[in-house]
């Protein structure tokens, strides 16, 4: 292509983001001190100031821009709704016409300036006005090419599009390549649009040495955690970016294997973009946020975030109606196992929500994983007492009866006795430890008949074959302590609750028992678990408190905020906190090691949450006894 060394202007159709300029007088600059620029002839006063042509619009075809003073160009229009016969009048100028808008922060070049001076400053160097015979909506902006005098071929070059009526800058582009003295600008595709009005004037201005924008970066920090049912981060989480060419456009997508947080969206707000809404489903969501600027070529930047939403994830209806599920544990097969006292079954639930149910015996309760990697629980029947049961992960059950029976205690004297299990746990010695409550009823007749009761509580130690290894009477020995849950503590002892006598007890593996009274009278401690802080945490149903006891026996109590909530099940969470159910309040509670309690609603009203455990998937799983469901909760 022949290089032409003439002063002037040329331009191509492009529309998008905007600067608003103010007119200013032409400025001339002397050559730098010490320089010896090569003289270049100034265009004579007889040279044409502008060249105009009218051409029909040809969508998808290459159209010419009038050549003048060494500038020329072509453009290819994007799709439009242009009526048949629409034309455009293009006028190229070799110097700044008075009506042309002033580019922002750009000094216009004087026609008398030396070319080397022009190449070292930021200057508007070529102007093209456009007037359309019909109003047209273009679906994007054209790709343009420009032949420029060699002095400008080193770049960088910029192309700006203005609306002459408003002086609004509609688009800024930067050359994507300069080959010889031909520069190419990329245009913009849909969804960018540009509407022109018949008879109004639009300008292209070619700019030399226009600085390219700084790299685009997302500057907002990681989004905070949220909670289901609560507006996210109050009024939302604002995203932010720097660099590029404002304004920015934002989008987000879910990473592979994840989804966008239900209830949240990325929306435009005054001053920018923000993640807003009210989360509806708990979980951990991995997302990619993308920002694009308005430059051409557009810059893009991404940031990957993980957003944690605390709250209900899902509820899974138990297949058997009215199952009256109560206790739950994380099994040796990475599934959840739970008891159904109403249907005499033990259920298994995968973390993806698939159920299996197995016949277990009358009134199964207190399920745990034994040292043999089977499921252990106990069944109970009125007047007959309890049996210890072992279930394999294939659902095969073996049972071992606790003492029960009847007999004679003398002339006209009979008695019956039954032993009921209160809790079952695995000890550090590889045995099963079972808390029991023994009830003996004696009926004696002489001149009359009377009945009395001799009750006691003890701890039985059984091996994985079901055999009794030891039995230890819980002091004082002549009352039922109403024993319940038992767990292996961090100190190598077994810790258990005494609901009836309002105590927390522990027992060594050699049988030494120590008891600690709960400060609040008649608190009825029910469930106990080892916390992440190596203390023991327990629920107090009647006192409406959560208790903490150190291995040295110091007890601290924390009132539950919701009155009469009946805290019931308790477990150590995967988040370093302790979690518990509130049966009558239909809530899940979280307590930090320092005693700060937060409560979360359950999706189903009146569900009566019961047992709770941490699942193999890092979620909390709990039983909704009245709702006949198993629920998953993201801590």
**Distance (Å, whole) CA 34 – CA 37:** 10
C-beta of residue 361 within 8 angstroms of C-beta of residue 387: yes
For residues 54 and 188, state if they share a domain. yes
In terms of Cα–Cα distance, which of 377, 338, 372, 342 is closest to 356?
Answer: 338
Q: pLDDT digits over 418-475, tens only?
A: 899 999 999 999 999 999 998 877 676 766 676 666 688 999 999 999 999 999 999 9
CATH number at residue 583: 2.120.10.30
Alpha carbons 18 and 171: distance in angstroms, whole number: 5
Tell how far CA 552 is from the center of its chain: 40
Residues 280 and 383 in one domain: no
Q: How far apart are CA 51 and CA 92, in angstroms?
A: 5
User: Cα–Cα–Cα angle for 272, 276, 279, nearest 5°?
Assistant: 165
| 340 & 276 share domain | no
Cα diameter, the chain: 145
CATH number at residue 376: 2.40.10
Below-70 pLDDT ranges, the chain: 1-47, 104-122, 270-271, 442, 444, 446-448, 450-454
Residue 156: the pLDDT is 83
The boundaries of the domain holding residue 110 are 50-208
Q: Is residue 334 part of a domain?
A: yes
The three-state secondary structure class of 268 is strand
Do 180 and 91 sit in the same domain of this protein?
yes
Does pTM surpass 0.85?
Answer: no
| Inside any domain, residue 297 | yes
Token code pair at residue 247: 């304004």
Is 243 part of any domain?
yes
Residue 24 CB neighbour total at 10 angstroms: 11
296 token code pair: 């051409």
- Write the CA distances from 38 to 113, 115, 116, 117, 149, integer angstroms: 12, 9, 8, 11, 15
Residue after which a domain boundary falls, among 208, 243, 269:
208
Do residue 63 and residue 97 come from a single domain?
Answer: yes
Looking at the fold, whether 194 and 223 belong to one and the same domain comes out as: no
Split into its structural domains, the chain has a count of 4
Can you give the CATH number for the domain in which 288 is found? 2.60.40.10
Between CA 433 and CA 487 the distance in angstroms is: 9
**What is the reported pLDDT for 442?**
67
pLDDT recorded at residue 37: 33
177 and 270 inside one domain: no
Q: Are residues 232 and 200 in the same domain?
A: no
| Pairing state between β 555-559 and 545-549 | antiparallel
Q: Is 56 within the bounds of a domain? A: yes
Query: Do 338 and 362 lie in a common domain?
Result: yes
Tokens of 577: 């906190």
pLDDT at residue 38, as a whole number? 30
Of the three residues 208, 239, 270, the one that is the final residue of a domain is: 208
Residue 431 lies in a domain: no
Tens-place pLDDT, residues 487-508: 999 999 999 999 999 999 999 9
Q: Give the residue from 404, 415, 411 showing the smallest Cα distance to 451.
A: 415
Classify residue 478: in a domain, yes or no. Answer: no
Pick from 384, 401, 418: which residue ends a domain?
Answer: 401
Looking at the structure, do residues 143 and 244 belong to the same domain, yes or no? Answer: no
Q: In the predicted model, what is the mean pLDDT of the chain? A: 87
Instruction: Classify residue 454 by burial, with Cβ atoms within 10 Å: 0-12, 13-18, 19+.
Output: middle
3-state SS class at 101: coil
- State how far the alpha carbon of 626 is from the alpha carbons of 71, 356, 394, 507, 607, in Å: 82, 20, 27, 35, 5
Give residue 122's pLDDT.
Answer: 60
Residue 168 within a domain: yes
Residue 225 lies in a domain: yes
Same domain, 543 and 605: yes
Look-up of token digits 């320089």? 35
Is-cis flag, bond preceding 297, omega within 30?
yes
Residue 185 and residue 261 in one domain: no
* 3-state SS assignment for residue 607: coil
């Amino acid at each position: 292509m022949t290089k032409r060394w003439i002063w002037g202007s040329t331009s191509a159709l492009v529309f998008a983001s905007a600067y608003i300029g103010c007119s200013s007088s032409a400025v001339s600059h002397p050559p730098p001190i010490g320089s010896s620029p090569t003289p270049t002839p100034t265009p004579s006063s007889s040279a044409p100031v502008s060249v105009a042509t009218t051409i029909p619009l040809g969508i998808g075809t290459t159209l010419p821009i009038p050549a003048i003073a060494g500038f020329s160009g072509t453009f290819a229009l994007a799709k439009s709704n242009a009526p048949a016969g629409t034309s455009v009048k293009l006028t190229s100028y070799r110097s700044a016409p008075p009506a042309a808008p002033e580019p922002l922060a750009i000094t216009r070049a004087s026609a008398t300036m030396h070319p080397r001076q022009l190449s070292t400053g930021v200057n508007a160097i070529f102007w093209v006005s456009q007037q359309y015979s019909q109003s047209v909506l273009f679906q994007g902006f054209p790709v343009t090419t420009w032949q420029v005098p060699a002095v400008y071929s080193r770049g960088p070059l910029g192309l700006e599009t203005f609306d002459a009526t408003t002086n609004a800058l509609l688009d800024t582009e930067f050359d994507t390549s300069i080959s010889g003295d031909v520069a190419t600008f990329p245009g913009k595709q849909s969804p960018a649009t540009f509407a022109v009005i018949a008879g109004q004037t639009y300008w292209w201005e070619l700019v030399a040495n226009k600085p390219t924008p700084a790299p685009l970066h997302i500057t907002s920090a990681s989004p905070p955690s949220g909670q289901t049912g609560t507006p996210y981060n109050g009024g939302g989480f604002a995203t932010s970016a720097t660099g590029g060419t404002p304004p920015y456009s934002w989008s987000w997508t879910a990473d592979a294997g994840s989804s966008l947080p239900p209830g949240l969206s990325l929306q435009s707000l005054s001053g920018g973009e923000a993640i807003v809404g009210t989360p509806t489903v708990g979980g951990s969501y991995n997302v990619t946020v993308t920002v694009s600027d308005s430059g051409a070529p557009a810059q893009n930047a991404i940031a990957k975030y993980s957003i944690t939403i605390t709250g209900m994830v899902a509820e899974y209806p138990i297949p058997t109606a009215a199952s009256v599920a109560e206790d739950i544990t994380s099994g040796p097969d990475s599934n959840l196992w739970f008891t159904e006292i109403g249907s005499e079954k033990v259920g298994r639930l995968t973390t993806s929500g698939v159920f299996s149910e197995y016949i277990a015996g009358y009134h199964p309760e207190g399920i745990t994983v034994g040292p043999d990697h089977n499921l252990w629980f106990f069944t109970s029947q009125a007047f007959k007492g309890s049996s210890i049961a072992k279930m394999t992960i294939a659902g095969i059950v073996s049972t071992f009866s606790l003492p029960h029976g009847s007999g004679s205690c003398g002339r006209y004297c009979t008695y019956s006795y039954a032993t009921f299990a209160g809790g079952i746990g695995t000890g550090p010695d590889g045995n099963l430890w079972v808390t029991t409550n023994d009830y003996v009823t004696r009926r004696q007749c002489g001149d009359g008949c009377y009945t009395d009761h001799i009750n006691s509580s003890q701890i039985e130690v059984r091996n994985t074959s079901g055999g009794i290894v030891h039995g230890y009477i819980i002091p004082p020995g002549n009352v039922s302590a109403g024993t319940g849950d038992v767990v292996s503590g961090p100190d190598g002892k077994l810790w258990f609750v005494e609901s009836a006598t309002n105590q927390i007890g522990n027992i060594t593996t050699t049988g030494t028992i120590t008891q600690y009274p709960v400060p609040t009278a008649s608190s009825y401690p029910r469930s106990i678990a080892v916390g992440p802080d190596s203390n023991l945490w327990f629920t107090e149903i009647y006192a409406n408190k959560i208790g903490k006891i150190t291995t040295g026996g110091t007890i601290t109590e924390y009132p539950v905020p919701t009155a009469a909530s009946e805290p019931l099940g308790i477990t150590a969470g995967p988040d370093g906190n302790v979690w518990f159910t509130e049966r009558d309040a239909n809530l899940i509670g979280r307590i930090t090691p320092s005693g700060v309690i937060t409560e979360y609603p359950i999706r189903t009203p009146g569900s009566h949450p019961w047992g709770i455990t941490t699942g193999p998937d890092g979620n909390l799983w709990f039983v909704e006894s009245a709702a006949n469901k198993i629920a998953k909760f993201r801590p």
